[in-house]
Amino acid sequence: MTAVPLYILDRPMPAPTTEPSLQDAERALVRDAQNGSEVAFEMLVRTHMRRAYAVARAICATHEDAEDAVQDGFLHAYRALERFRPEQAFAAWLNRIVANAALDIGRRRKVRDADALPETLSVPVFDPSERSELRNRLGRALGVLPDRQRSVLVLHDVEGYTHGEIGSLLGIPEGTARSDLHHARASLRERLRDLWSER
């Protein structure tokens, strides 16, 4: 029998890792929420609130609509928790629900405001205190894009989502997301062409 070298016996043994990964901890929270724990669901809400708002704001024309979409999205998610499968990524599942809620709010607003000037034209996308000409022009140019093109553009160029992630969020093929981004950028270039020609 071969003797174990002493330097191996002198090494400290690595401590067993008993701390669960973030993904495991989140799955445990989801399971608890599925079993009726309001505290677990509240922790999930706190964890994902900021990203859910970013998704909604990329789709909605106003801060208020984005907040409504997040609230609706979390309510839908709570009611649909039993349909969530553990092999899914909770964040992706939730963001898809929030994106659908935001799109629904946009569709309802269009129906209500059919005879009025669309809010996307009358309310700037950016903070109204920022009065630079470029921001005002960009806000108006974004406002006249079709909803889906504007959503894809903001999700990709501002929020940094990939085409595949955008497709999942909006329920469209990845190729459609790429095409929408191309058309949205082309439309912005056309509408803002004079700003570049003046330089």
Tell which CATH classification among 1.10.10.10, 1.10.1740.10, 3.40.50.300, 1.10.8.80 matches the domain 23-119: 1.10.1740.10
| Residue 60 identity (one-letter amino acid) | C
* Mean pLDDT to the nearest integer, 88-112: 83
Locus of tokens 């969530």: 84
User: Taking 60 as the threshold, does the pLDDT of residue 117 lie above it?
Assistant: no
User: Taking 90 as the threshold, does the pLDDT of residue 72 lie above it?
Assistant: yes
Axis crossing angle, helix 63-79 with helix 38-59, rounded to the nearest 10: 140
- Dihedral pair phi/psi, residue 16, rounded to 5°: -65, 140
8 Å CB contact between 141 and 188: yes
Answering whether pTM is above 0.95, one says: no
* Mean pLDDT to the nearest integer, 97-112: 80
For CATH 1.10.10.10, list the domain ranges present in the chain: 124-199
Determine what percent of the chain is predicted with pLDDT higher than 70.
75
For CATH 1.10.1740.10, list the domain ranges present in the chain: 23-119
Tell me the pLDDT band of 70, cut-offs 50, 70 and 90. Answer: very high
Q: Please give the Cα distance from 137 to 191 (Å, whole number).
A: 9
What local confidence, expressed as pLDDT, does residue 144 receive? 84
In sequence order, the 6+-apart residues with CB closer than 8 A to the CB of 72 are 101, 104, 105
* Mean pLDDT to the nearest integer, 156-166: 83
Tell which CATH classification among 3.40.640.10, 1.10.10.10, 3.40.50.970, 3.90.1150.10 matches the domain 124-199: 1.10.10.10
Q: Over the chain, what is the mean pLDDT?
A: 77
Residue of higher predicted confidence among 195 and 122: 195
What local confidence, expressed as pLDDT, does residue 110 receive? 63
